Amino acid sequence: MPKINVPGTGHGEFTSPAGNRYWEYKDDKIKKILDQAIWIIQHSVTRMKSCDDCFKALPGGRNFNDVWKDDRIWINFEPRADRDWYGITFGVGGTDISISQSAFDKGRWWVAGTLVHELAHTNGATITSKDADKTLLKCGLVSAYEGVIGVQSVAKKDFYV
């Protein structure tokens, strides 16, 4: 299972060259929402063959459960709510995901959807297609589906490629 970046794990914090933060979860309230989102994924998404199949079709070729079991993946926190995204992965195929405050403001189901979307990027889904967001339709998280390609302005709901 992906690891959660909390103090004491040794993963630490970093800011990407683009200015995106991959920080530790230090706020208990935020961490609780993340734990609830992980529970949703563990007890629902991991049981869906349709989710496994759509992940297997991504460029990385791994099914959802294989990605979910990958303990090289880290779930980090972006504490700012002014980002134009809910989640970000440090490079397509990367192993560091950051979930923004904006996603947490929308609740555990949104965080679960954001996490699944970002896990698709760890499995090779590009930022120039809707592939990562489409996984939500097959993984029981249609309520978090927006059909996003690249970056979507959270505030304005404008789409950018």
The alpha carbon dihedral of 16, 5, 44, 153 has a sign of negative
Q: Alpha-carbon distance 42 to 125, whole Å?
A: 21
pLDDT tens sequence for the chain (161 residues): 999 999 999 999 999 999 999 999 999 999 999 999 999 999 999 999 999 999 999 999 999 999 999 999 999 999 999 988 999 999 889 999 999 999 999 999 999 999 999 999 999 999 888 999 999 999 999 888 887 654 444 443 332 22
Per-residue pLDDT, 105: 96
Domains and CATH numbers, the chain: 3-160 (3.40.390)
Q: How far apart are CA 89 and CA 122, in angstroms?
A: 7
pLDDT score of 52: 97
C-beta of residue 35 within 8 angstroms of C-beta of residue 29 = no
Task: Give pLDDT, residue 145.
Answer: 85
pLDDT of residue 158: 32
Among 108, 126, 112, smallest CA distance to 2 is for 112
The pLDDT of residue 159 is: 29
Query: How far is it, in rounded angstroms, from Cα 126 to Cα 15?
Result: 21
CA distances to 12, 50, 92 from 30, rounded to whole Å, are: 18, 30, 26
Round to whole Å and give the CA distance between 3 and 110. Answer: 19
- State residue 36 phi and psi, 5-degree precision: -65, -40
